[in-house]
Amino acid sequence: MMIISIRPFLGIGVILLAVLLILFSGKRPNVREFWTIAAAVINAIVVFSMVPEAVSGNVYKYTLFQITDSIGFTLAADAAGMIFACVSSFLYIPVAFYAIGYMRGHHEKEQTGFFAAFAVCIASAVGIALSENLLTFFVFFELLTIATYPLVIHARNEEARFSGRKYLIYTLVSGQLFLLGIALVYHIAGTLNFTAGGFITAEMAPLWQLQLLFVLLILAGAVKAGLMPIHGWLPSAMVAPTPVSALLHAVAVVKAGAFCVIRIVGYVFGPEVLIELELNNLLAWFAAFTIIVSSLIAMKQDNLKRRLAYSTIGQLSYILLGAALLSPLAITGALYHIVAHALMKITLFMCAGAIIVTAHKDNISDMYGIGKRMPITMACFSVASLGIAGMPFIVGFISKWDILLGAIQAGQPL
């Protein structure tokens, strides 16, 4: 049942209002940081207030304005979107507190711009999660790209600027291909609204056109999710402050890419069409390749944040693999891995930031004895590492187990 309510826009609106208040409070750090925390808490309350209805199968929906008779700037809080929205909204709270302490501890410059851009990123992530159609999705997807750029180049040195340019080239080019794909979808199907099971059928266009369309749409998500070989921007972005790394890897950016793939696979094309197009297996093989190769590269990295970056590349490909397998269990595992990876990876990056601030060490080879010096931090790091590796009885095991069972359910060789 549809419930017409402005609630899906309310959380985003609160954050965007806070952006203005943060900018106007630039000379008063305590006030600026109050607005940051207040926006995080209020947004989480609004988003989680929609969970009971989403669990019951009801959908909060609101159209801000109509673009055409069949396309509106609309948010709808369906079950899949609520998973990503809840993850982003919940983790915004600890990351906000962490960022305040980190930025103050490092005496970072441009903190007002940092917190404003950070807030826009979270608002964009929630918008992506709750978008009812491809056009609304695209607006928030590109807003996330633009808002992340000043965070990546925060240091304002040559390395940061180079990483920022690299990030923009990857994401903006794939974003324009995404927009072209959206135009083709509307031309072929006459609608852009996400539909469970997909709304594109094999009869709508020749096979090669549908294959091209899938590639155009999936590239945007694959780039943001760090799928190899189009992952180059992600390790380079580790020049950003650690709270930005947590945002990139756990809260918003790469998760938005993975969620984009889930939407395209499950809500635009659907299993039957993708099997006929024979493209889901190609995506699955790329994901499997990325899982293996990124793990091998990660083991060779001495810089802790770069090692975690390559870990993210591999872990996000589990989500893409689950989506590509097309079975109900695999897609369930993919959605659950969004939650599992977010919780584990944000812990790892927060621990990495604590090590950098306290011990002033970036390279693993320099961290001998760090467990004795920072026992609580390293205990948390160890638990999160085991969880992300899929150790039984820890959250990461459940999602990977579901993906494994989903592969069997799909009849795919293991």
Instruction: Give 275-285 pLDDT, tens digit per residue.
Output: 888 888 888 88
Tell me which DSSP letter residue 248 carries: I
Report the range out of 29-43, 192-206, 305-319 with the highest average pLDDT. Answer: 29-43
Residue 414 has pLDDT above 60, yes or no: no
Q: According to the model, what pLDDT value does residue 132 have?
A: 92
Q: According to the model, what pLDDT value does residue 246 have?
A: 73
CA-closest candidate to residue 100, choices 110, 89, 111: 111
The residue count of the chain comes to 414
Q: What is the DSSP string of 253-283?
A: HHHHHHHHHHHIIIIII-HHHHHHHT-HHHH
d(CA 368, CA 50): 47
Average pLDDT over residues 337-344: 88
The enclosing H or E element of 4 equals: strand 2-4
DSSP 3-state of 143: helix
Among 66-80, 190-204, 239-253, name the one with the lowest average pLDDT: 239-253
The enclosing H or E element of 382 equals: helix 375-389
Residue 133 falls inside a structural domain:
yes
Backbone angles phi, psi at 309, to 5 degrees: -65, -45
Per the listing, tokens 């493209």 go with: 279
Residue 412 has pLDDT above 80, yes or no: no
Give the pLDDT band (50/70/90) at residue 249: low
d(CA 145, CA 151): 10
Mean pLDDT score of the chain, rounded to an integer?
A: 86
Strands 59-66 and 72-77: antiparallel
Residue 414 falls inside a structural domain:
no
* Percentage of the residues of the chain whose pLDDT score is greater than 90: 19
Long-range contacts of 409-412 (CB under 8 A, 24+ apart): 409/327, 409/328, 409/329, 409/330, 410/325, 410/326, 410/327, 410/330, 412/284, 412/325
Average pLDDT over residues 337-356: 87
Q: According to the model, what pLDDT value does residue 367 have?
A: 82
Exposed, middle or buried by CB within 10 Å (0-12, 13-18, 19+), for 60? buried
Report how many domains make up the chain.
1
Average pLDDT over residues 81-103: 89
Residue 230 falls inside a structural domain:
yes
d(CA 42, CA 92): 11
Which residues constitute the domain of residue 222? 2-409
d(CA 170, CA 150): 16
pTM score > 0.85 for this model? yes
Among 226-240, 288-302, 340-354, name the one with the lowest average pLDDT: 226-240
d(CA 188, CA 165): 34
DSSP 3-state of 74: strand
d(CA 59, CA 50): 8
Q: Give the tokens for residue 208.
A: 């090669």
d(CA 117, CA 339): 23
Residues 291 and 314 sit within 8 Å (Cβ to Cβ): yes
Q: Residue 59: what residue type?
A: V
The C-alpha angle 85, 39, 90, rounded to 5 degrees, equals 35
Average pLDDT over residues 184-205: 87
Average pLDDT over residues 132-145: 92
